[in-house]
Structure 1
Amino acid sequence: MKYLVIVLFVGVALAAPSENKRDSYQNVVNPCRSNANNRVYYPHPRDQTKFLQCDVFGRMFVIQCPAGEIYNQATTTCIRQQTTTSQTTNTGVQNPCTTANVNSGKIYFSVATDSHQFIECDLNGNANILTCPSQLLWDENRLSCVYQFQTGVMVTTPNPNGGLGGIANPCRGSATSHQFFSHPDATKFIQCDIAGDAFVLSCPSGLVWNQFATTCVSPYNMVAGR
Structure 2
Amino acid sequence: MMRMHVLACLLLALPVVHGLSRADCTNFNMNNQETRILELLCTRTAVINKQIVFGHPSDSKKFLVCSDVGVGCSGTCANGASFDKVKNTCGSAAIICTLPSGADTSIPTQPLGATFQNPCSSAGSRTCFLINHSMKNRFIICERSTTQVPMVGQCLAGFEFNFASQTCMKVKEQITTCNNGVNPCKPIPITEKVISADRLYFGCSDDPTKFIHCDRWGKMTVKQCKNKTVWSQTALACASD
TM class by shorter chain equals: 0.3 to 0.5
Q: With structure 2 as the length reference, what TM-score do the two structures score?
A: 0.34
